[in-house]
Chain A
Amino acid sequence: MQEAITTSPASSPTRAEVDSGDPAIRIRDLDFLYGSNQVIHNVSLDIFPKEVMAFIGPSGCGKSTLLRCLNRMNDLVDGARIGKGSIEIHGVDLHDKSVDVIELRKKVGMVFQKSNPFPKSIYQNVAYGLQIQGVKSKRVVDQKVEESLRKAALWEEVKDRLNENAYGLSGGQQQRLCIARTLAVEPEIILMDEPCSALDPVATGRVEELILELKNEYTIVVVTHNMQQAGRISDRTAFFYLGKLIECDLTKKIFLNPSKQQTEDYISGKFG
């Protein structure tokens, strides 16, 4: 916990801070609708490689929807569609006809609010992504499972009971298992939808530590309701209100010296 705070962006400048290189994700003028109900209005945003980007804002402001746009999970919802604008990853428009959504989701992994391991063994949960891709070699899968569990800082806790049901784990462990499961398919970008909202403070601390470690290798986008959490883990923060991007800047600037009045009101707890 203590460590996590000392390695916060305040002390170490990120790639975004020096503002170099191409963005990993480029969102331009995005409108998004559920049927006739527009939930995202004209959002433009860049997310850079190997940074942690936090989306904050009151409930219903469209931050989760935007996150789910990034690996097209919204395809599952009837009537969900893009109004205008584009989302590009490595310069490729996600809604281009040539994009295979299956390949996209392998590159852009997702961790959900409610930890939802499959009711199978811990091993099978992590191996799932590999097995559905047709990886047969036991040696490769074993190796990948261990590697992913190590990266998710879960290996030491579960290495002796890999074949036990994942629902025997605690809530925090389950959530880290879900992260390990996502890591096993080797994504570049990890989307996290309020990953700690169902966890107690200790488990939350472990997951936050993990996020800070993972950012050395992955681009991470986190949706959170917890402002302190955004402060602890993110390099930059985007504040959404009523489907509009109000402000996006370095986290410390957002929290210490926001340039918009609405941001300041939200952060200081005047509404939301």
Chain B
Amino acid sequence: MSPEKEPRHPFATRLTAERAQEFVMFGLLRGMTFFVLFCAAFLFWDIISKGSSKVFEGDGLINWEFLTEHPQTLHVIGEGEDEIKLSSSNYYKLKDEKMLNKWEEFRQSDGHGTARRELDARFYQLQNEWSKDSLLVADEKFLLRERENATNKFAFWKEMLTDPKTTAEDFEIKVEEVPGMVTQFMLGHFEKERGRFSLVEEKVTLFRATHYPKIENLSLAHAEEVEMEYLAFLTEIPEAYNQSIASFGEEAKSSYDEFLQTEGPKEFGRFAEAIVAYSAARNVLLGPDHDLENWEALQASLAPFKQAMAVSLPSKDYAYSGGGIFPAIIGTLLLVIGAMTIAIVLGVFCAIFLAEYGKAGKFLSMVRLAILNLAGVPSIIFGLFGFGLFVIFLDWNVSLLAGWFTLAFMVLPIVITASEEALRSIPQGFRESSLALGATKWTMIKTSVLPFAMPGILTSSILGVARAAGETAPIMFTAAYAKRSDLPWEGLEHWTDFFFQGVMALPYHIYVVSAKIPQNAYTADMQYGTAFVFLLLVVGVASLSIILRNRLRKKYRW
């Protein structure tokens, strides 16, 4: 540059403006490319490093629970170094184990013999209680007691109705409001009775419904009528209760026999449950103050066994942060397979028409324009479209079928455009020679165009697969459930139900665990673990298609 530095020869490097520009541009281009590469690498590194702690266990083994279980609550036992993370199923398994141990301990202990003898004695005392005779006495007592109660109640209400003025003063309301208030009292009473006679709840409900017009439009005459009816109605109750009590008694007896044979916690649980049901029904029939001594004694004799079953395993619980994502993996696979099948069938047929049959003209360019626009529609709009058409209008509800069609419509433009491209890239010579050999147009397409275009069509569907698997918006209204423990083939009443059930899906699951549940120290694991598996799955499906495509390409090369 400076005059004293003379170039040594005519080709010596000099710094000109063009050179400087080229230098800067080169640096810029290289820098940007490296930046893109860095971003991609960082993304993968981030997902893989954070996700692998969930997908792989501490010792490098695959965490099968994460891959094969459904989402569960995470129970964290202990703190810091000794912390143990357990999903619900394992937590309850552990609890059961502990209980069994404690139970066994109890059975080996000295107290066990005494407790058994006590229980036997108490239970034997109560064996005859559900005999017919004692129940008949009970029925009479029940009717006497309940009728007295009812008469008292009705007498009180009737009094209020006969002297509304005083009532209004007492309750500080207007006189014309009195019947309404008494109606409320009466309805409340029946509501309470319905709870008390829980075994004949339906009958009480029916009674109330039958007499509702009178109760609602209450007068002294109506109240009297309802009272008469109700007193008559009460006789129906013991009959129904007797049957139930007898069957509860049988259940208690048979479960006790079973308990005698196998003295396990499960059998004990069944027995204790039967006793509770029996005593509840009995209390209604006999009244609360009837012969409670024996019962209290029996309850007391149960206590040592109950004590042996009570295990505490204190844990901190985090909803949705444990278990695995198996239903989501299956759901995503099902969604992708179904959507791609529909998209490829529709797309390839459409592309064949456009490329082989369609004559250039207004119609064709309109179709092309429509497809081009469809490709630019945001996925959330496809979601709304699918929701409106399939879920609401066709009444498919949130279902696989609705998701399939919504996703299929979303990837359709990709499939059509690329399939048409693939068809057009087949040499015209194949078509001409096929026709010259006497093929019809469809035979020509079937035998000497479509097979050779297949690699190209598959390439396009790879793009479609990644998109169909990855989108959250189209399925969140149409196919995805936030949580569903059943797998799609479980609990189907009819095989067609398969298509009309919602499923979990990986992208939606990531959304749910990231945005829909309270965040805690363990949700990040779930998010990145799911993302990691999701990434692997998409890469896996894409590689499969690439392998298939390459094999076809090898077969048909020209």
Contacts and interface: CB of A to CB of B under 8 A. Distances in A.
A202 interface: no
Contacts of A178: 433
Contacts of B359: 78
A58 B432 CA distance: 24
A129 B435 contact: no
A245 interface: no
Contacts of B427: 116
B557 A128 contact: no
Contacts of B557: 119, 165, 167
Interface stretch (A80-88, A90-98, A103-111): A103-111
Contacts of A116: 427, 429-430, 432-433
Contacts of A167: 557-558
B439 A119 contact: no
Interface string B348-371: 000000000001100000000000
A149 to B, nearest CB: 16
Contacts of B448: 118, 128
A102 interface: yes
Contact of B436 (A103, A109, A114): A109
A256 interface: no
Given A116-B430, A118-B430, A167-B558, A102 B436 contact: no
B34 interface: no
A254 to B, nearest CB: 28
B217 interface: no
B447 A128 contact: yes
Contacts of A128: 434, 437, 447-448
Given A106-B438, A119-B558, A165-B557, A112 B447 contact: no
A133 B434 CA distance: 12
Interface in B310-369: 359-360
Interface in A142-187: 165, 167, 178, 181-182, 185
A131 to B, nearest CB: 8
B443 interface: yes
Contacts, number: 69
Interface residues of B, number: 23
A105 B434 CA distance: 10
A182 B437 contact: yes
Contact of A132 (B431, B432, B443, B558): B443
B550 interface: no
Contact of A73 (B430, B436, B438): B436
A105 B435 contact: yes
A185 B430 contact: no
B554 to A, nearest CB: 10
Interface string B430-465: 111111111110010001100010000000000000
Contacts of A165: 557
A105 B431 CA distance: 13
A132 B440 CA distance: 9
A110 B436 contact: yes
A120 to B, nearest CB: 8
Nearest to B443: A132
B360 A105 contact: no
A177 to B, nearest CB: 11
B233 interface: no
A132 B432 CA distance: 15
Given A102-B440, A132-B439, A133-B438, A181 B433 contact: yes
A71 interface: yes
B436 A119 contact: no
A18 interface: no
Contacts of A131: 447
A116 B436 CA distance: 12
A76 interface: yes
A181 to B, nearest CB: 7
Q: Which of B430, B433, B434, B558 has the most CB of A within 10 A?
A: B433
A118 to B, nearest CB: 6
A33 B443 CA distance: 29
B177 to A, nearest CB: 89
Contacts of A110: 432-433, 436
B556 interface: yes
A118 B443 CA distance: 14
Q: Which of B429, B430, B432, B437 has the most CB of A within 10 A?
A: B437
A116 B430 CA distance: 7
Given A78-B359, A110-B436, A129-B438, 17 more contacts: A78-B360, A105-B435, A105-B438, A110-B433, A112-B429, A112-B436, A116-B427, A116-B429, A119-B556, A119-B557, A131-B447, A132-B437, A132-B447, A167-B557, A181-B437, A182-B437, A185-B438
Interface of B: 359-360, 427, 429-440, 443, 447-448, 452, 555-558
8 contacts: A105-B436, A112-B429, A112-B432, A112-B433, A118-B430, A128-B448, A131-B447, A132-B443
